[in-house]
Amino acid sequence: MAGHYETLETLIDAWKRGDVATVTGLMTDDIVWHYAAAIAPPLSGKAAAVEFLTNFRATMGEVRWRIFHHAEAGPLLFLEGVDEYVGTDGVRVAAPYAGVLEFRDGKVCAWRDYFDMGLVQRMKAGKDAPDHVEALIARPAV
């Protein structure tokens, strides 16, 4: 069985291609996904994840999601990365984030992402990220 990070790499590759079915195929039916922990209520269940991802992906052009660091501990995968994409409107959004994924039987059963929604809204409005954020975003991926 592949490690948790290898499963995430498969998920990221599928997301970059816009393959929502493969992404959600790597989730359990009862997934609890805090796609914006401490900002919005979680999505519960695979059907909610499919709906959210289908709508979200429709707003994206190029996806540049990258992971800078990760660590595995039992069923947990800890991440530091940047969720970067260019919207269909041509606007670049790049949000540094930390995340925790929990796995059961090789699939993601819980997911928590932590990021600055103010930065995302600022960039969606066409404003540049501050220099200190650009420095975080510019780091090489693993």
Q: What is the CATH number of the domain that holds 79?
A: 3.10.450.50
56, two tokens: 């979200």
Give domain status of residue 101, yes or no: yes
pLDDT exceeds cutoff 60 at 1: no
- Residue 35 falls within a domain, yes or no? yes
Domain assignment present for residue 99? The answer is yes
Position 60 scores a pLDDT of 95
Structural domain count, the chain: 1
Q: Which domain holds residue 109?
A: 4-137
Query: Who contacts 51 (Cβ-Cβ below 8 Å, separation ≥6)?
Result: none
pLDDT one-digit tens code per residue, 50-66: 999 999 999 999 999 99
Examine residue 142 and state whether it is found in any structural domain, yes or no.
no
Residue 75 falls within a domain, yes or no?
yes
The strand ranges marked E within the chain are 27-34, 43-44, 60-63, 66-73, 76-87, 92-104, 107-115
Rounded to whole angstroms, the Cα distance separating 75 from 5 reads 11
**Does residue 2 have a pLDDT over 90?**
no
Instruction: Count Cβ neighbours within 10 Å for each residue of 29-39 and write b for 16 or more, e otherwise.
Output: eebbbbbbbee
Q: What is the pLDDT of residues 4-55, one digit of tens each?
A: 999 999 999 999 999 999 999 999 999 999 999 999 999 999 999 999 999 9
Residue linked to tokens 């420095």: 135
In a domain, 111, yes or no: yes
Q: Does residue 62 lie in a domain region? A: yes
Q: How far apart are CA 54 and CA 48, in angstroms?
A: 10
Please state whether the predicted TM-score (pTM) of the whole model is above 0.75. Answer: yes
Flag whether 131 is in a domain: yes
